[in-house]
Amino acid sequence: MSTNGDAMGSAVAVLGVALLLSLGLLAFLTLRLREVQRRFLDKETEYQKVQDHLQENDARLRAIIESEPECVKLQAADGTVLEVNPAGQRMMGADRPQDIIGRPIYDIVAPEYLETYRQNMARVFSGETLIYAFRSITLKGKVAWLETHAVPMRDARGTIYALLGITRDITEHRQAEEQARRHHTELTHVARLSTMGEMATGIAHELNQPLSAIANFARGCLRRLRADHVDPAELIKPLEEVCEQAVRASEILSHVRDFVRKSELQLKAADINHIVHSVVKFTELEARHHGATVTLHLAPRLPKVQADAIMLEQVLCNMVRNAFEAMAEAHSPQREVYISTRALEGDAVEVEVVDTGPGIDGAVIDQVFDQFFTTKAEGVGMGLSISRSIIEMHGGRVRAESGKDGGTTFRFTVPTSEARSSHA
C-alpha cells in the first residue's frame, strides 16, 4: 500500500513538475512575444522618426541651398545643368530657372576654358573631388572669374550620377591677387635694383675708370710708337700708369667679395626645412607667374644647422628664382622645381634644388659661381657668386651639375650645430 501510494505520489509529482514547467515556458514565450512585439513597434516608430527626420533634413538642406549665397548646382556627365539654386541662377545671368536648367553648363564657360572644363568634368565623374577656376561669360555677357568646388554625387549603388558644384565669384579676389602680384613684382624689382643692381652698376662704373685709363694710356703709347717719333723715355710714365690702374681694377674686384664677407653673419641653430618652407612661400607668386610647381622632399627630424637663416633664405631664393627664370626663358614645357633636404654623414645637412629647365652647358658649368657670369638676358652675374660666398662663410659647400637631358641641380651643404660646437 505504501508502495502504491508512493508510486501515485511520484506520478503526481512528476505531472505537477511537468505542468509547472509548461506553464513557465508558456509564460516565458508570452513575455518573449510581447518583447518582440514591443521592439517591433519601437522599430516602426523609430523608422517613422527617421523618415520624418530625413524629410526634415531634406527640406532643411533645400532651404539652406536655396538661400545659399554661393552657387550650388548639379550637373550631368554631359554638362547639362540639372539643378541650380537662385544664387547660382543669378551668378550665371539667368532670369528664370529654365534659362539655365536643362541647358549645357558650357554656355557660360569662356572659350579658352572649355577644354579644361570638359577635362575637369570627366575627372569628377571618375570619382575625383576638384577645385577649379575658370573664366565665365554669363548669359548676360558679363565676364566673371568663378571657382568651383566639385564633388561626385553617388547613388545607393555607388554609381556617380551627377556633379555637385559649389561655385563662388572670385573676380574681385582675382583682381586683388593680380594687383598683389604686380605689387610684388615691383617690390622685388625695386629690391633687386637697390641691392644687386645698385652694386653691379656701382662696380661696373668703378671698374670702368681704371679700364678706360689703361686703354687710353696704352693706345696713346701705340699711336706714338706707330708714328715713329717718340723718345722711349716718354713712354715710361704712361706705362707705369697702366700698371697702377691694372692693380686698381683687381682691388675693386676683391672689394666685391669683401662686401659679402663684411656683412656679419648671425649664426644661430636653425631648422633647414623651415627655411625651405619660407622660401617656397616667398616665391609662391613667382612660381605661379612662371607656371612652375615646387615639390618638396624634406627629410624629417633633421639636425639643426648653425646658420644665418636670412642669408640662407637669400641663397635658396636665388637658386629657386634662377630655376623659374631658366625654365621660363627656355619655354620649357614642364616646369618643376624639386627641393630636397637630407642629413649627411659628418654633421652636415644638404639641400638640393633641381629644375626641369634646359640645364647649363657643360663648358661653362664651372663658371656659374663666377662674378659677372650670367646666362640671363638681363642678369648681372652676381647672385650665385654671392651665394657661394654666403655658403662658404657658413663652412659649407655649393656645387652645380647639369643633367645629360637638361635640368640643373644645385646642391649645398651647411654644417649642423653639433659640428660647429665640436669644432669650436
Cell 605661379 belongs to which residue? 288
Q: For residues 138 and 146, what is the distance between their CA atoms, to the nearest angstrom?
A: 11
**Adjacent-strand bridge partners of 348:** 344, 415
Please, how many CA atoms are within 13 Å of residue 183, restricted to the half-sphere of its CB?
6
- Contacting residue, 80, 138, 216, 340, with another protein by CB under 8 A: 216
**Which of 1, 126, 158, 205 contacts another protein by CB under 8 A?**
205
Alpha-carbon torsion angle 356, 358, 364, 368, nearest 10? -50
Tell me the site size for another protein, rule CB under 8 A: 22
DSSP 3-state percent helix, strand, coil across the chain (nearest 5): 55, 20, 25
Residue 217 beta carbon to another protein: minimum distance, rounded to whole angstroms: 5
Segment near another protein (CB under 8 A); pick from 121-129, 144-152, 209-217, 410-418: 209-217
By the 10 Å C-beta count (0-12 exposed, 13-18 middle, 19+ buried), 242 is classed as middle
Please provide residue 140's backbone torsions phi and psi, each rounded to the nearest 5 degrees: -90, 0
Residue 409 beta carbon to another protein: minimum distance, rounded to whole angstroms = 33
Range 235-254, binding another protein (CB under 8 A): 238, 241, 244-245
Of 142-201, which residues contact another protein (CB under 8 A)?
201
Nearer to another protein, 90 or 224 (CB): 224
Residue closer to another protein by CB (options 97, 238) is 238
List the one residue from 116, 179, 212, 295 that touches another protein (CB under 8 A): 212
Question: Between 172 and 240, whose beta carbon lies closer to another protein?
Answer: 240
- Could you tell me the smallest distance in angstroms from the CB atom of residue 244 to another protein? 8
Choosing from 135, 149, 224, 342, the residue that interacts with another protein (CB under 8 A) is 224
Query: Under the criterion CB under 8 A, does residue 202 sit at the interface with another protein?
Result: no
Instruction: Give the residue from 284, 316, 277 showing the smallest Cα distance to 414.
Output: 316
Axis-axis angle for helices 309-329, 383-393 (nearest 10) = 150
Binding part of the chain for another protein, among 101-109, 119-127, 216-224, 267-275 by CB under 8 A, reads: 216-224
Pairing between β-strand 293-298 and β-strand 336-344 as defined by DSSP bridges:
parallel
Interacting residues with another protein (CB under 8 A): 201, 204-205, 208-217, 219-220, 223-224, 227, 238, 241, 244-245
